Structure 1
Amino acid sequence: MNSAPNIEEARDEAQGIAVGSSFYAAMRILPRAQRDAMFQVYSFCRQVDDIADSDGPRDERLEALQQWREDIDALYAGNPPARVQSYAASIAQFGMRREDFIAVIDGMEMDVPADIRAPDEATLDLYCDRVASAVGRLSVKIFGLPDDDGILLAHHLGRALQLTNILRDIDEDADIGRLYLPRELLFHAGITSSDPDTVIASPAVPKVAAPLVKRARAHYDKADEIMSRNRRSTVKAPRIMSKYYRKILELLVERGFALPRDPVRLGRASKIAILLQYGIV
């Protein structure tokens, strides 16, 4: 039987997963207890996401996600399995909710029975809430935001980040058979297919992307408004994440959404500039 990992092992594992991600710089500026908790949340999200994105049989992926649900339930019941045992101290310290861990699993599972293709607007919003805003609800507990503003920030920033991901990854998602552009916007642009390869080749993709860009910007603006009324030290990590991803969104707009769509990445100099501007209190 594997022994339960101690906090140092959990930290090293989570940090190893997080290095190179867009969230790493924002997490590393946090005090140690907050940083450890964020690495645990990130590690959890990566592990369930890897299950959903694997090419294994769908029934095995569903079973693996169900095991994660059972492990989270056991954790909150006071009998945590080894792989989540190190979460207990962070949950006790920061008050992260079981429902938000479960929501993340539910969101990852939305891609498993069948790949998401042109969801309706309501399904897309539910997906964004589960895979992004639920992560935000866990995170704002760690950051120490008041409950009301924390929930609002998670709602808006989570959706802003996820819509940016969707716009950035249109072609990459299509390569694995997925299409997150909502069907209502596709129809409005004159695209009647839900086949990913057909859709991404359409010259009408920019018309589909435009309202999603507008929506993401509105969420970023609302997130900025919420963060502006909270202590700078409390919101420095989510502010850095927001600025990273908003810059990516603007680079996408500058590039355009017509073919060819070259990959967009935030350069090292831009990352350092954002970190220096918003990471120093």
Structure 2
Amino acid sequence: MNPDDYCQQKAARSGSSFYYAFLFLPPEQRKAITALYAFCREVDDIVDDTSEPSVARMKLAWWRTQVEQMFEGTPDHPVAIALARHVRTFGLRPDPLYAVIEGMEMDLDQFRYADWDALRKYCWHAAGVVGELSAAIFGHTDPRTLVYAETLGLAFQMTNIIRDVGDDARRGRIYLPADEMERFEVTVADILDARHSERFEALMAFQTQRALQLYGEAMRALPEADRRAQRPGLMMAAIYHALLAEIQRDRWHVLDQRIALTPIRKFWLAWKVWVTGGRGLVERLAGS
């Protein structure tokens, strides 16, 4: 199996919403963004699948050497080999890739977040910086597009956090800001024991509003000149925003189940944005 095929299988197996946006890209961009996504999956899987933190740290340290070798032309891992082919074409830099790894290291050290400022820092490492890397691959002419991409990444991560409250709790992690949990009188035990309540719904409604505000900020930052190039990000925005709306309609019953969109619905949402260029979507989300 060649490196590109390895990355393609990694992306397809994940079932992620990102995969549907990649399908519409020209071959070179599709290979580059798929390799970037596979890199993010590789380092994320280390934290999720490795029970011993010291072993996970060693694996993440190894990936740091792979990033270094990408820019020296000597990587070993199929994902690193695939991604290395695109760093010059799309002007990718090592620092954002190191920042992704730092985000995974945060998951080994921190299981609670005191407030939104602390959580926002984590979200930037986990997704904001990935948005910037993705925007470089999709293409842009205006530096404001990087602000759009970073903010959209934060919106995606908040959507993931809202969706995965139960799954994360079963791993011992709670990403909801501690000061806001206290404000809404939701305890750590409530989350860990999957106790759904009106207080929990109010807390989650607050988190959902934050995510919607981030979607709005992102859309308002996207320059018209780069809207067509950034269609893959808009396709993901359509899918993630629809997921957030589905969770809200279900009254945030996320403690004991995982709410998801069907593959056909994801494909339909992605296709619609590709055909329309995001007309209507940007304006609708900008009003959030």
Aligned partners of 2:265, 2:253: CA distance in 1, in Å? 25
CA contact (8 A) 2:165 2:254 kept: no
Aligned to 1:102: 98
Post-superposition CA distance 1:37-73 (Å, at most 9, x none): 0011011001000111123311010011011112212
Residue aligning to 2:269: 274
Mapping 1:1-281, distance limit 5 Å: 9-19=2-12, 20-76=15-71, 78-83=72-77, 84-114=80-110, 116-146=111-141, 148-193=143-188, 196-198=191-193, 200-201=194-195, 203=197, 204-227=199-222, 229-257=224-252, 262-280=257-275
CA distance in 2, matches of 1:213, 1:247: 12
Query: Residues of 2 paired with 1:259 and 1:169: CA distance?
Result: 7
* C-alpha contact 2:3 2:81 (8 A) present in aligned 1: no
- Give the Å deviation of 1:197: 0.8
Partners of 2:252 and 2:187 lie apart in 1 by 18
Give the 3 Å change call, closer, same or farther, for CA 64–260 of structure 1 in structure 2: closer
Deviations 1:218-272 (A, max 9, x none): 1111222334613443011001000000000001111112587643211244323
CA contact (8 A) 2:73 2:84 kept: no
| 1:170–1:179 CA contact under 8 A, matched in 2 | yes
Is the 1:164–1:216 Cα contact (8 Å) retained in structure 2? yes
CA-to-partner distance for each residue in 1:107-127, whole Å, 9 max, x for gaps? 01111135x124432221111
Q: How far apart in 1 are the matches of 2:159 and 2:150?
A: 14
TM-score by length of 1: 0.89
The number of residue pairs the alignment matches comes to 271
1:117, 1:195 within 8 Å by CA — same for their partners in 2?
A: no
Would the aligned equivalents of 1:96 and 1:141 in 2 still touch at CA under 8 Å?
yes
1:136 Cα deviation from its structure 2 partner: 0.8
Residue-by-residue CA offset, 1:129-151 (whole Å, 9 max, x unaligned): 00101111110000002352232
| Residues in 2 aligned to 1:123 and 1:195: alpha-carbon distance in whole angstroms | 22
Q: State whether residues 178 and 196 of structure 1, in contact with CA within 8 Å, keep that contact through their aligned partners in structure 2.
A: no
With the length of structure 2 as denominator, give the TM-score of the two structures. 0.87
Counterpart code for 1:104: V
Confirm or deny: 8 A CA contact 1:240 1:275 kept in the other structure: yes
Identity of paired residues, percent? 31
Cα pair 2:112 2:174 within 8 Å, conserved: yes
| Aligned residue number for residue 284 of structure 2 | none
Give the match's secondary structure for 1:82: coil
- For the residues of structure 2 that align with 1:276 and 1:71, how far apart are their CA atoms? 35
Aligned counterparts of 1:68 and 1:260: Cα–Cα separation in 2: 33
Gaps of 5+ in 1: 1-7
